Amino acid sequence: MSTKLIIVVVRREHDALLRNLLDAGFHVTEFSSLGGFLRRRSDTLLIGVDAQRLDEALRIIRQTCATPPGADEHSATVFVLHAGQWVTI
């Protein structure tokens, strides 16, 4: 089974995203981060998912973090990586 790692860099107002992902049964690791052009503080979420649930997770992220029309900044940056191995210890 193929596993994906979703990395989501979100602005500080992300409580709804975290709650929606957890309610859907995803396991999420959250930590504070700093970066980007303006060196703004944000939070980064790490979500390990089976490839079969990737679309579901991305749908939740898109719906929760939708950028309002006319906004000059986006709400989230999402990276999806192939996780060659998933080990729990």
pLDDT digits (tens, 9 = 90+) for 38-89: 567 888 999 999 999 999 999 999 999 888 788 777 888 999 999 877 777 8
Q: What is the third-level CATH fold of 3-83?
A: Alpha-Beta Plaits (3.30.70)
Let me know: does 46 contact 29? Beta carbons within 8 Å. yes
pLDDT digits (tens, 9 = 90+) for 22-48: 999 999 999 988 776 556 788 899 999
Burial class (CB in 10 A: 0-12, 13-18, 19+), 12: exposed
pTM: 0.86
Dihedral sign for Cα atoms in the order 83, 87, 88, 89: negative
Residue 76 carries which side chain, given as an amino acid letter?
A
Q: Where are the domains of the chain?
A: 3-83
